Amino acid sequence: MRKPLISGNWKMNHNHFEAIQTVQKLAYLVGKDELELADVSIHPPFTDIRSVQTVIDSDKLGYALGAQHCHFEDKGAFTGEVSPVFLAKLGVQYVICGHSERRELFGETDEMVNKKVAAIQQHGMTPIFCVGETLDEREAGHTESKVLGQVRAGLAGRSPQQVGSLVIAYEPIWAIGTGRTATSDDAQQVCAAIRVCVADLAGAQAAESVRVQYGGSVKSSNIAELIAQPDIDGALVGGASLDADEFARICKLGA
């Protein structure tokens, strides 16, 4: 059985003081019992990572430290970018790549995302590799062709073992920050198609072990129904993860 992964993507929110307070409050609300049933990763802005790492390590919290993005090169003249080497040195375990906001707002291509998946794994971290369709693509009936095309492009060149050890996050773009959420049946259908695609690319064992998250206006009122689906192995949570009380409820209900 795949252990669920609940990931909190704080995006460009919380300075390092606010980040410390949020993690400390979360620690009182989500304890060892819940963390036996589900993994929880926290993805603060880059300026907060060291502060959050210190809290997790010093208080021996069971949360995994995550990052929201990285470059695919180890070093070089890339002003404003962050190397995967730097993240690995900070104890980061999960790195989000291919998020729709990175694709839409910052021009990340499938080729760039593929390079990031490879770089993240090369340095011993786990990619949370995001895929998803726009509202126009959904209404035109192109959801699976768009999503599975992204899956194939992002995983090209990865071995079956590498594919099986990563996380794929299905995040329909039309559901992010809008309050709209795919029904659990719709989300399950796409996540199941992703798993079939992984089997075609990397074999049955990789398809069985890969974790597939759902992301898009996830909250405590819908997490239990989503996580009950056989091919949904967790959630990539945006705005709802900024509030420790609400994120704790999500973690508990998703465990």
pLDDT tens-digit series, residues 118-176: 999 999 999 999 999 998 999 899 999 999 999 999 999 999 999 999 999 999 988 77
Best CATH choice for the domain 5-254 from the list 3.40.50.300, 3.20.20.70, 2.60.40.1190, 3.30.465.10: 3.20.20.70
Catalytically annotated residue among 14, 43, 71, 99: 99
- Cα separation of 43 and 95, whole Å? 8
Confirm whether 225 is a catalytic residue. no
The residue from 34, 108, 133, 171 that is catalytic is: 171
How many CB atoms neighbour CB 145 within 10 A? 12
What are the sequence ranges of the domains in the chain? 5-254
Q: Model pTM greater than 0.85? A: yes
Q: Is 123 considered catalytic here?
A: no
Contacts 24+ apart (CB under 8 A), 26-30: 26/63, 26/244, 26/247, 26/248, 27/59, 27/61, 27/63, 29/244, 29/245, 29/248, 30/248, 30/251, 30/252
User: What would the pLDDT profile of 82-133 be if each residue is shown by its tens digit?
Assistant: 999 999 999 999 999 999 999 999 999 999 999 999 999 999 999 999 999 9
